Structures are given as structure tokens and as C-alpha cells.
Amino acid sequence: MNKIIIAIDGHSSCGKSTLAKQIAQALGYVYVDTGAMYRAVTLFAIRNNLIKNGTPDKEALISSLIDIKLSFELNNDNLPEIVLNGENVEKQIRSMEVSGLVSPVSVISEVRRYLVQQQREIAKNKGVVMDGRDIGTVVFPNAELKIFLTASPEVRAERRYKELIEKGTPASYKDVLANLQERDYIDSNRSDSPLKQADDAVLLDNSNLTREEQFNETMQLVKKVLS
Ligand code: DC
């Protein structure tokens, strides 16, 4: 069967990765979480004092890109986890500290170019479900299926807050809501590759959808493309 590229873009914490993982598993495709790549670069920047008072030291970070080696390894559930210079940092990149600094790091064009090149390399044989902000617009403008996923900020904050608490990560609902609204703003208003719905993307608002309904709707779209 023909393999395709499925691009899932959308706002912060709207369940892109949950959907992307389910679709990848159903099709036997590779799942690529591009947000994890931007988060790992941010973690590297924090650890190496390349962010001062919330502002990345752009020149220093750009010169350090060569020292940032990213890869993915499969966990026991067969799901990819991000590896930064040989260390699995899947858990560390989900902290509120990284969430608070990742958008300013993602604004830097050289960071984007460095990661986009790797994203294209990973998907060169297709059979990939990739989620992010610019996958359908910039990384794969010719992706066979593009989904633009969203939900109301309150619904997203509530889901994200519950997830953090369940994982034992300290968080407050107010901070989570403020963080995702700030990220939405920066991600949608940056000049390089802003978050926006591609003209040919299908809009899916999952505020009132269960995971199963969202999965079924997407699988219908996949089947249509593959038929
Ligand atoms: O998907 P996420 O919330 O883990 O992504 C974290 C941040 O990374 C997001 O706020 C913006 C940035 N990002 C990006 O600029 N482009 C992508 N393709 C994916 C993520």
C-alpha cells in the first residue's frame, strides 16, 4: 500500500500527540513529535546558560547547534522518546520551565532550519505521522493529509493540568492556562513559520470530542486519501 505523510498541526496542548500516536500505531507508521525537538534544544540552552532572564542568547545558541545531537529511541510501549546527546530527556522536556522558554527558542530561524532539515530526513521514505506547528505549511507543504487540530484554551488547560498532576509534576491550572495562551500567541505571531492552518488542511475542533471520536474521524480522512 502507498505510504503517505500525515501532518498534524495545531495549538498547544490540544491533543496532537495523542492523535498522532494513535494514527501512527493503527497504520504502522513512524510518529515524530517535532515539539519534543524544540523542547530538547530549549533544555540544552537552559543547561548551558544560553537563556538569560527568559531571553535566549541567540548568537550563542546558534553557534551551539552543532553540539546538539537529537535522535529518538523506542520505549517499552514502542513509542519514540527524544534523546539529547545520548541522554533520554523525554521527561525533562515536559517541565513547566521548558514549556515557559520553548516558544522564544522556536522563534529563532536558524534553530528552525536545523530541526526542519532533520524532520525532512526522518520522513524521506514517507509512512510518517508528524505533529507540530508548521508541518503542513512549511516542513511538508505537499503532505497527502493535513489536519489542523484545536480546542478552546480552557479545555486544553484543564486536560494538560490533569496530565501534569497525574504524572506527579507540580502545576497550577492558572499557570498552565497562562502558559498555553502565551505560547499560542508567540507561535501564531512569529515571522518565521507561524502557526496557521494550511489552506488544504482539515480543521478538527476536539473541544467536545472523545479521543475515540477524534481518532475515528481522522481514520475516515486517512482512508479517503489512501483509497
Ligand atoms: O507541541 P509542543 O507543545 O510540545 O511544542 C512546544 C513548542 O515548540 C511550541 O510552543 C512551539 C514549538 N514548536 C514549533 O515552533 N514548531 C513545531 N513544529 C513544533 C513545536
**pLDDT tens per residue, the chain (227 residues)?**
789 999 999 999 999 999 999 999 999 999 999 999 999 999 999 999 999 999 999 999 999 999 999 999 999 999 999 999 999 999 999 988 999 999 999 999 999 999 999 999 999 999 999 999 999 999 999 999 999 999 999 999 999 999 889 988 888 999 999 999 999 999 999 999 999 999 999 999 999 999 999 999 999 999 999 99
pLDDT of residue 30: 96
Report the Cα–Cα distance between both ends of the chain, in Å, rounded.
10
Mutate-to-test residue for ligand 1 from 16, 18, 19, 34, highest number of ligand atoms within 8 A of CB? 34
The neighbouring-strand residues paired with 185 are none
Q: Tell me which residue range forms the domain holding 47.
A: 5-226
Alpha-carbon distance of 136 to 50, in angstroms, equals 30
pLDDT score for 51: 97
Question: Which ligand 1 atom is the nearest neighbour of the CA of 119?
Answer: 18
The domain that holds 99 is classified in CATH as 3.40.50.300
What is the C-alpha separation between 56 and 102, in angstroms, rounded? Answer: 10
Distance of CA 191 from the midpoint of ligand 1 (Å): 15
The count of structural domains within the chain is 1
9 CA distance to ligand 1 centroid (A)?
9
pTM: 0.94
Q: What is the pLDDT of residue 206?
A: 96
- Say how many Å lie between the CA of residue 100 and the centre of ligand 1: 11
User: Which residue's CA is the closest to the ligand 1 atom numbered 6?
Assistant: 35
**102 C-alpha to ligand 1 centroid (Å):** 7
Nearest to 84 by CA among 113, 124, 47: 47
Mutate to test the pocket of ligand 1, among 187, 189, 192 (most ligand atoms within 8 A of CB): 187
> What per-residue confidence (pLDDT) applies to 163?
87
Provide DSSP, 127-186: -EEEEESSIIIII-TT-SEEEEEE--HHHHHHHHHHHHHHTT----HHHHHHHHHHHHHH
